[in-house]
Every structure is written in C-alpha cells, then in structure tokens.
Amino acid sequence: MNAIASHLVAASTSHIDPDIVISARDLVKAFNSEVVALDRASFDIRRGSFVSLVGPSGCGKSTLLRLVAGLIGKSAGELSVLGHGVTGPSHDVGMMFQRPTLLEWRTAVENVLLPTEVQGTTTDADRRRAIELLQLVGLRDFEFSFPRQLSGGMQQRVALARLLQTGANILLLDEPFGALDEFTRERLNLELLRIVDDVEATVLFVTHNISEAIFLADQVMVMTPRPGRLAKIVDVPFERPREIALMQTPEFNSLVGEVRSILGGH
C-alpha cells in the first residue's frame, strides 16, 4: 500500500456515520498498473440494505466485491467497512461465490462449520447453530450428506448456510445462483430475501441479470465496462416483502428499461 492511499484511509475514518457500513471514495483498482478494472467508484451503503451490482462482464463488479472482502488491495482511493479502512479479510464480511466451493470430503454440516473451525475451537453450540442454519436454508435431513450426494441447488444452499455461520453482518454474494437453472434460481432468490431479512444483514449482490438485480435490491449499482465504472445508483422503491408477481408490473418494467438504457450506451 502506498503512502497516499494510507493517508486517505486515515482521513476517511474521521467522519463516521454509524448507519453507513461500506463507504468508497474514488476507489480505483488497476491490475499490472495498466488494466483499470475499477475506475474511481464512490458510494455509501447503509446498514441493512440490499444492494445489487449489475453490469456486463468486465465492468468490475467482481473486483469491487473482492476489494470490499479484503481479498485484493486497492490501487487508490478510499474504502472503509464499518468505519475502518480495509486491509484484509475481516470477520464482519462474508463472501459467497458462483460455485458452491464445498469441500467434498466433508458432510454438509461439517462444511457449514468450516468458518467456526478456521476461527478457533468448535463448541456444541456452534454445531447446533450449523444444524439450525441448514434447516433454515431448507436442508433438513441432508446434514450428513456429502456434497457429491447433493444437487447443484442444494450445494449452493449449503454454501449459503456456511456464509451465515461466519456470523458476518455484511454478505457479499458473487452471482450466487448464476450456475443454476431458472426455476431453482428464482426460488432461491426468494428464500435469500427471507433469510437476509431474518438475520438483518447488509448485502452486496453481484449479478448480470437486470430483473433479478432490481427484484432483490433496495438499490442497484449499475456498472459499465472498459474501464469498469459505476455509472449510476438506481433506487428501487418497491415495498417488501416482494412477490414474483411484482416482475409483471409496469413500474417494475420501466425500472428495468431505465437500467437497460444506462447499460445500453456502452
């Protein structure tokens, strides 16, 4: 990290709004000092909100997510999570990927317990919580199945339970159901809404599907590629809980049209 960047981080901690959990100012990520993956993104994400990141491949949405997760370092600008500059992975932030990334030699419940194990010793309370989480994601009776014995959708449910087991309040989801069929995906999206509402998490959800982005979110961050830029943040005014029928309404479709036109210019 260079001197200017760390100076900016120090400056950013001076004006803490307790309701803002993720804050970025002119955040830049360049690979090999040439390819600009993310160009000067600025945004604030409020506690408990569900924010979608939508855009075509190469728009920097996954880069943005990895920056927030502390998996990669920024090139310039400011980025803070819960008022602190991001320097590496934090227990406040959990991440879920497009692929389930389960350990095939562990049962479902042992996979869910991985975050606890990594952080220290596992107690019976942790084990009970893991079982409860598997039930919460609809996997009662599959706690002791191995990943290879589960369908793709069920594997992703295990990954979701594992994410919740981290106890993190900020959940970063990188196209979590992108590899699943349309029906499974729709159902899991609805369950995801119910679950994150339950655990009162702040969610950053990456997708390339505009309708999905709008349907799930309070705000949609629309991103455009080459270089990756945050083009606009669109507010989604629809009430919760939401039903699938919402997607048929003219209001919903006009919002889809708005996002599409922002993306269309590129």
Partner 1 sequence: MSLATDGNLSMTDVAHERGSLAGRVMRHVALFLGVMLVWELASYYQFVDPLILPRPTAIAAALVNMVLYQGTVWFHLGVTLWEAVAGFVIGSAIGIGLAVAAGLNESFRRYISPYIIALQVTPRIALAPIVIAWLGFGMMPKIAIGALICFFPPFINTLTGLLNVDEDANEMFRSLGAKKRQIFFSLMLPNAMPIIMAGLKTAISLALIGAIVGEFISASEGMGVLMQRYTFALNMASSFAVLVILTAMGYVLFLLMEWADNWLVYWRHDARMTAISRKKAKAWAGVAGRR
Task: Name the site residues for partner 1 (rule: CB under 8 A).
Answer: 66, 69-71, 88-91, 93-95, 97-99, 101, 103-105, 107, 109-110, 114-115, 117-119, 124, 127-128, 131, 143-146, 148-149, 166
Cβ atoms of 97 and 173 closer than 8 Å: no
Burial class of residue 258 (count of CB atoms within 10 Å of its CB; 0-12, 13-18, 19+) = middle
d(CA 93, CA 79): 14
Kindly state the smallest distance separating residue 99's Cβ from partner 1, in Å.
Answer: 5
Q: How far is the CB of 146 from partner 1 (least distance, A)?
A: 5
Residue closer to partner 1 (CB basis): 146 or 238: 146
Of 24 and 68, which CB lies nearer to partner 1 in the complex structure? 68
164: its two tokens? 């919740």
Cα separation of the two ends of the chain = 32
Tokens of 261: 């036109």
Whichever of 156 and 219 has its CB closer to partner 1, that residue is: 156
Q: How far is the CB of 237 from partner 1 (least distance, A)?
A: 32
The answer to whether residues 95 and 126 touch, using CB atoms and an 8 Å cutoff, is no
Q: How far is CA 107 from the centre of its chain?
A: 25
Task: Tell me whether residue 91 or residue 266 sits nearer to partner 1 (CB atom).
Answer: 91
Rounded Cα distance between 173 and 136, Å, is 18
Query: Within 13 Å and on the Cβ side, how many CA atoms surround 118?
Result: 12
* Nearer to partner 1 among residue 124 and residue 235 (C-beta): 124
* Residue 157 C-beta: closest distance to partner 1, Å: 16
Q: Minimum distance between the CB of residue 124 and partner 1, rounded to whole angstroms? A: 6
